[in-house]
Amino acid sequence: MMRVFYKTIFIIPLLALWLAVNTVQAAQFIEGFEDIPIPDEMSQMSADNVSFGNEEARFVEAYLQSDKASFAEVESFYMSTLPQLGWAFNGKQKDVLHFYRDGENLDIALEGRKPLIVRITIKSRD
């Protein structure tokens, strides 16, 4: 009986991790960001990327656009996906979602509605 219990305790977290990794692996990722996926029906506006930094600090910014998606769908996507990648939700102010992880802040901001334009920014915490 105890063997089954210990096997279950070991297998369930591994299964959850496998599901999280496989869900995220199916997504496309934003160029310049290691692990920020692009929601379905959105594309990156590559000409507007900004990236600079050094070993101690960085600033990376990208824009996504869509004629089909809404900001509510983008918000739902990132609220469910980013925690799987270690990002913790840090609140919402108007149309900006705030996350943090390992000394960095991630902001996801609504920039335009028709077409939908979303700004994604990662910057080192002060």
**How do residues 59-74 score in pLDDT, each as one tens digit?**
899 999 999 999 999 9
| Confidence (pLDDT) at 56 | 72
The answer to whether the peptide bond before residue 39 is cis (omega within 30 degrees of 0) is no
Where residue 22 falls among pLDDT bands split at 50, 70, 90? low
Q: Is 49 exposed, middle or buried (0-12, 13-18, 19+ CB in 10 A)?
A: middle
